[in-house]
Structure 1
Amino acid sequence: MSITGQKTTDTARHGTGTGTGTGTGTGTGTEKDLPPRERLVQAASRLFYYEGVRAIGVERLIAEAGVTKATFYRHFAAKDDLVVAYLQTKDAYYRQVAEPLAAAHPPAEAIDLIFEAIAEHARERGFRGSPFMNAAAEYPDADHPVRALVTSHRDWIRGLFREQLTRLGHADPASAAGALLMLYDGAMAAGYLDDQTAAHKTLLDAVRLIRSEG
């Protein structure tokens, strides 16, 4: 299961959808049947992830989504509001994958399975790293709503790990959770830049070392 919920087709990887960039796009697959707001979020998910946030303007977004400019501004006051909505969908999907694993398994197994899901995601065709870290790199202002959402997402991950480590009886769950969060960040980068098979083994070995230290 993809941890981001983003289908990585050839079309999605290149961020072209079926829009033409002229305002006549109609989205991909069944997207044309979605409400306009959802079509905009779907288009943003493709374009922002594969081409970057700053590189994509409102005209390109409305072309990909097959909506009018008036419809865009009816749902989003500015492009940054759509960036937040895009990241909210990613955050929600990560939670839908990770939280059931944490609830259904003993803590050590839950931690391993969460990282297995991350490693699986990093092996997907078209993987380009964490959508949250990618977005944060384009928003240097730490007080910006996009950065606030990135921080909230990372705080949730840290808290999820801390909860599992506490259940496991780790001697210092807060510090170990911080270490696992750093591994998570590193796994997202290594999955894009390094040999994925080697990165997978290194990641899981490091996870087991950290969770067993306590």
Structure 2
Amino acid sequence: MRILETASRLFYERGIRAVGVEAIAEEAGVTKKTLYDRFGSKDDLILAYLRARDGLWRSTLVKYVNESDGPPEKKLLATFGALHCWMRERNPRGCAFVNAHVELPADHPGQEIAREQKAWMLAYMEDLAAEAGAESPDTLAAQLLILHEGACIANSMRSVDDAARRAEQMAEILIGHALAR
């Protein structure tokens, strides 16, 4: 759908607050009435954007991990390969959910979508850590999620070259330690 694709691009590139429905409608080649008929409000469009972005990240990550070869601990490392590709192709401004969390008011329903996305990611990492045989899958998953988040920030701020690969190197050490116990 042109409206959602346009809104998603503009929200991510310029910021949710900075983009009005007029700009989205104009760039999508529709009237504001059409936009409101389809989505109801800017807030509903924001929610659709966040849900679509979440679905795209989840499917990309799971596919990348499932296509990785080797023992289960390699699947944990594959999450960083997926992150590297994602950041190169779709994520120059950092994590869309962290960005939304910063931009949206505390009571905005988009905050819940952002939290759910991070909770899913943590649970997914914990499942992979358990499958790999980590003694404390929850601890390892939390450590790896922090590395993921840090790599996204370092990449978007251009403060560390090749942030995802460097995070992957640190993850390899953490995984080795967690599995050696």
Does residue 148 in structure 1 map to residue 112 in structure 2? yes
Aligned pair partner of 2:127 in 150, 163, 185: 163
Deviations 1:111-153 (A, max 9, x none): 1112112123333487111111111110140x42101000111
RMSD of equivalent CA atoms: 1.7
Unaligned runs of 5+ in 2: none
Does residue 112 in structure 1 map to residue 59 in structure 2? no
Aligned residues: 175
1:104: how far off?
A: 4.5
Where does residue 20 of structure 1 map in the other structure?
none
Where does residue 80 of structure 1 map in the other structure?
43
Does residue 135 in structure 1 map to residue 115 in structure 2? no
CA 1:139/1:68 → structure 2, altered by over 3 Å: closer, same or farther? same
The 1-side partners of 2:96 and 2:34 are apart by 26
Structure 2: which amino acid aligns with 1:182?
A: I
CA 1:114/1:148 → structure 2, altered by over 3 Å: closer, same or farther? same
CA 1:153/1:190 → structure 2, altered by over 3 Å: closer, same or farther? same
Unaligned runs of 5+ in 1: 1-37
More helix by share: 2
TM-score for the superposition, normalised by structure 1: 0.76
Does residue 192 in structure 1 map to residue 156 in structure 2? yes
Give the stretch that moved more between structures: 43-52 or 105-114. 105-114
Where does residue 181 of structure 1 map in the other structure?
145
**Where has structure 1 moved over 6 Å in runs of 4 or more?**
none
The 1-side partners of 2:164 and 2:35 are apart by 41
TM-score for the superposition, normalised by structure 2: 0.89
Does residue 212 in structure 1 map to residue 171 in structure 2? no
Report percent identity of matched pairs.
Answer: 34
Where does residue 87 of structure 2 map in the other structure?
122
